[in-house]
Chain A
Amino acid sequence: MDQTGFSSAHLLRLYDRFECLDRDNRGYLSPNDFEAVGGLAMNPIGGRIIDAFFSSGQDTVDFSSFVRILAHFRPTDRNRNKEGTQQELPNSRTRKLKFAFQLYDLDRDGKISREELLQVLRAMLGLQVTKEQLQSIAERAIQEADLDKDDAISFDEFKKVLGFFLLQSQSLVPDRMKRIPPLRMILALTCSGVLPSLVHLSPSTETMMEVRPKSRDRIIRALQVCRT
């Protein structure tokens, strides 16, 4: 929990969602489970997002890795003092940008080359545009961002290009991570087969004990998994 920075209420919700996705109740998620999520099929970069959850080589995602990846999307704690540990927090700006960068950079060589950019553009723009248009766009994008003229965008250049943009907008943090208890009900309703509605969602540990015993065990298991 210290690693990810999530509160126990959050973890609870995430665990429920994890269970919801894990239809065969195996305790881990495979790519098929992700693909069953409706929106991802239509998302141009859906495949990449799914791949991001599975660290190299592995076929399954357990709850702790699931949570760790989602921890990237927590709001940045702005009023933290500037300790050295700021960089290691999963939700710091750099980590967020790194995550996004890795979605571009599929071969993990630390740079977004022209081909990778072209692939992303092709995915986003579909079949409506010609190859030449894509090339000119990619060309221009690299020209704008590439400061050391190596014909690829490194992570620092990426940060610089997006730096201004991210300061202003609230992107990179989906509303999901805001603590709004009433949304619990929506989540409960959308997740078939899970009936956690009796769980009382306040961060304090005392109220956690009001939970039904069966759910409580699950939750404790989940928290233990997370702590490791």
Chain B
Amino acid sequence: MAPLRRSSTLRLTGLLCLLFLVFFSRGFASHDVVSEKSSGTIQEDSHSQANSTAHEKTFPVLSFNYEHVRTPFEISLWILLALFMKLGFHIIPTVSHIVPESCLLIFVGLLVGGIIKATGEQPPVLDSSLFFLYLLPPIILDAGYFLPMRSFTENIGTILMFAVVGTLWNVFFIGGMMYAVCQIDAAELAHVDLLSCLLFGSIISAVDPVSVLAVFEEIHINELLHILVFGESLLNDAVTVVLYHLFKEFAHEQTITVTGAILGVISFFVVSLGGVMVGVIYGIVGAFTSRFTSYSRVIEPLFVFLYSYMAYLSAEIFHLSGIMSLIACGVIMRPYVEANISHKSYTTVKYFLKMWSSVSDTLIFIFLGVSTVAGPHTWNWTFVIFTVIFCLVSRVLGVIGLTAFINKFRIVKLTKKDQFIIAYGGLRGAIAFSLGFLLDNGEIKNLFLTAIITVIFFTVFVQGMTIRPLVELLAVKKKKESKESINEEIHTQFLDHLLTGIEDICGHYGHHHWKDKLNRFNKTYVKRWLIAGERSTEPQLISFYNKMELKQAMMMVESGSAAKLPTIVSTVSIRNVQTKGAPKPSRAISKSREEEIRRLLRANLQKTRQRLRSYSRYELLNDALEDNISEARFRKQREMERRMSHYLTVPANRQETPPVRKVFFQPEHKVYTYDDSESPRGWASPSCADDVSELKETPEKPDQSSTPRANRDAELKPKEQDDQGDQLKVSRCLSDPGPNPEDDEDSTFLP
């Protein structure tokens, strides 16, 4: 039954995909026809108006005006196509195991382009400004914002070597060899001179971040290799930009002078460092702005995006490296912005970035396919084949040579397997195509474009498809699924301190020394300016811990809150059974106090639901209970409430008081001076732990006399506390009040 259904869904999906393709391509192609028609009707209208002013015009009940919405409509159609393709590949699982997504997307692009061309229309080409201004930035921002800083900085030397020296080697090798090939009479390529070849080399030799991301994401390779190849693809942008502009300028003059070369070198430093500077400036401004956004939380994510985008555009104004600027901005901004913005904004930022970059890269590959069908091609067997061969050869030679040099300075050396993967992972992509497209029109341009497209296809299809089985074959280390653990964080920091100390003893100013200095500078000066409120003095370990606790609390709710309740009740009953025998001096909570606790708890749980009534368009709804939790969970919540009230009415002849949680805080016990309007991060465990320990302290003292039982109790207690605490933490967290302070709940009720 099931396989039958599967195959029928597959067939249905395939049919749907085909239908969509045809529909979309007709949509793109028919706009010209429609525009003629509509302009025709407009003319007719004016005619009829001129001729027959006396006549009454019938009121058009239904009219057709496509021109009005043409551009946004087409853009939306393209994006929809991209999204459907993405969905489709995941519904058909067999294909996506063998072929990486990028290949399939190019293939789809080819299809669409073919269909458009078959209908006689001119398919749209990947416009370079469209690519560089709209499609590329989201991908780079997404990559830069979530760059794993630790491994990046540890391997920065290697990455820079590959990016700068490796790319330079590639450029000159390919350029030189292609010039030599062009000298062969049989190839009829004599018109291609040395400078053009070097220009071609500079376009084709850069490893492309989009392709690398697309392919490497699916093979889950270990972090070191991933960061090496990916970091290289990001940082070689500066080299590419400089060489491209350099050769393009000199192509007009037909010679390169010595001053030109020196200026080129200087220009390289200006471009890369300038780009980074621009990014850093925007990053700092963005971090500073986020300090004040607590007044309007809804627009916080936009600040992040806009500042980063402006950094990119500003760098592009001066022909600096936009990619490096974008990365620098994201990296600088991230720690401060994350400390300032609310949890929801953080989630928004994360998901929007992922969404945009996903759509972007799908669109890029589809357009690549379409442009292949569209563009005028000049196919020259010699040129193309030699280009492909030389690209491979230069990459391999470059990686081997550089690794031999780099390994002298590395501690964790790069093995042959690593080198192979690095060499094989040097994929070319859409950046090369767009740069080629920007060349001046001419026969050389078509020749180059054809070769570029062939190389891109070769790397994406052949290398992209075979890299996964090769990784399996060579048994390359895969990415280990490491759970975030507080232990790791503690010990990492400890080891950092240890190594800094040892370095100080040895008198050597090494990696750890500078890192320590930077951290100290950061803590004393920068954080104070860029982080709002008390968070500025919060140590990194604490924020990490809070984040983890919050994540765990959310996970517990996701897995079903009602499931947790029985354990709470049962642990209490277990404890009852155990402790009934031992005569312990008990400290019963006074009846009135218990009543108060119960009343307030119940009231607050009800209040979290009642707060949904007010509605304001510019404020986040306070009722996560309506947004996030479905009806079922809502029912569960009510049941939990009921059970808790039952639990609290069980007569208190127990030895210890249940660790009752106050749902709100006594200000004097708080570590941070948040007002309650702040995001729920950070108040999670400390204050609750505060209050509980305060309540716990008095009953605990007599307990500590008996050892084994106390241990077990202590074990049960924290778990129970954690569970209960997390429940309430979560209910608090989900009902994020936004900027409205809750005045009436701040009253302290316990002396």
Contacts and interface: CB of A to CB of B under 8 A. Distances in A.
Contacts of B500: 39, 43
Interface in A146-190: 151, 161-162, 164-165, 168-176, 178, 180, 183, 186-187, 190
Q: Which of A14, A20, A137 has the most CB of B within 10 A?
A: A137
Interface stretch (B185-193, B484-492, B600-608, B612-620): B484-492
B393 to A, nearest CB: 29
A125 B541 contact: yes
A106 interface: no
Interface in A65-118: 70, 73, 75, 78, 100, 103-104
Contacts of B685: 133, 136
A49 B686 contact: no
B486 A129 contact: no
A200 interface: no
A169 B507 contact: no
Interface in B177-229: 222-224
Contacts of B491: 100, 161-162, 165
B509 A137 contact: no
Interface of A: 14, 17, 20-21, 34, 37-40, 42-46, 49, 70, 73, 75, 78, 100, 103-104, 120-121, 124-126, 128-130, 132-133, 135-137, 139-141, 144-145, 151, 161-162, 164-165, 168-176, 178, 180, 183, 186-187, 190-191
A176 B504 CA distance: 10
Nearest to B492: A165
Given A42-B520, A45-B501, A151-B711, A133 B542 contact: yes
Contacts of A175: 503, 508, 510-512
Contact of A130 (B151, B485, B510, B690): B690
Given A128-B537, A174-B510, A103 B686 contact: no
Contacts of B480: 164
Closest 9 CB pairs of A and B: A39-B504, A175-B510, A176-B508, A49-B501, A132-B689, A133-B686, A176-B506, A161-B487, A174-B503
B587 interface: no
B223 A120 contact: no
A183 B497 contact: no
B671 A130 contact: yes
A169 to B, nearest CB: 6
| Main SS at interface, chain B | helix
A154 to B, nearest CB: 13
Given A42-B520, A164-B482, A103 B487 contact: no
B442 interface: no
Nearest to A53: B505
B638 interface: no
A75 B487 contact: no
B714 to A, nearest CB: 9
Contacts of A178: 409, 411
A45 B490 CA distance: 13
A186 B507 CA distance: 9
B686 A144 contact: no
B508 A133 contact: no
Interface of B: 150-151, 154, 222-224, 409-413, 480, 482, 485-488, 490-513, 516, 520, 537-539, 541-542, 545, 548, 671, 685-686, 689-690, 693, 711, 718
Contacts of A34: 505
B504 A121 contact: no
A78 B413 contact: yes
Given A136-B685, A137-B545, A176-B503, A129 B508 contact: no
B499 A162 contact: no
A49 B498 contact: yes
Contacts of B486: 137, 140-141, 144
Given A130-B671, A140-B545, A43 B487 contact: no
A177 B280 CA distance: 33
Nearest to B412: A170
Given A136-B689, A165-B488, A170-B154, A129 B671 contact: yes
A168 to B, nearest CB: 6
A187 B505 CA distance: 12
12 contacts: A20-B507, A121-B490, A124-B493, A125-B541, A135-B689, A141-B486, A161-B491, A169-B154, A170-B154, A171-B492, A171-B495, A174-B510
Nearest to B693: A132
Contact of A129 (B222, B497, B507, B539): B539
A25 B167 CA distance: 53
A43 B504 contact: yes
Contact of A39 (B516, B539, B545): B516
A170 B411 contact: yes
Contacts of B501: 39-40, 43, 45-46, 49
Contacts of A137: 486, 490, 541-542, 545
B413 A37 contact: no
Given A39-B501, A124-B497, A151-B711, 8 more contacts: A38-B504, A100-B498, A124-B490, A161-B487, A165-B488, A169-B150, A178-B411, A191-B507
Contacts of B409: 178, 180
B686 A17 contact: no
A39 B671 contact: no
A108 B512 CA distance: 28
Contacts of A133: 542, 545, 671, 685-686, 689
Contacts of B487: 141, 144-145, 161-162
B541 A124 contact: yes
A135 B502 CA distance: 29
Nearest to B538: A128
B443 to A, nearest CB: 51
B539 A125 contact: yes
A130 B689 CA distance: 10
Contacts of B542: 125, 129, 133, 137
Given A49-B498, A129-B671, A174 B511 contact: yes
B94 to A, nearest CB: 33
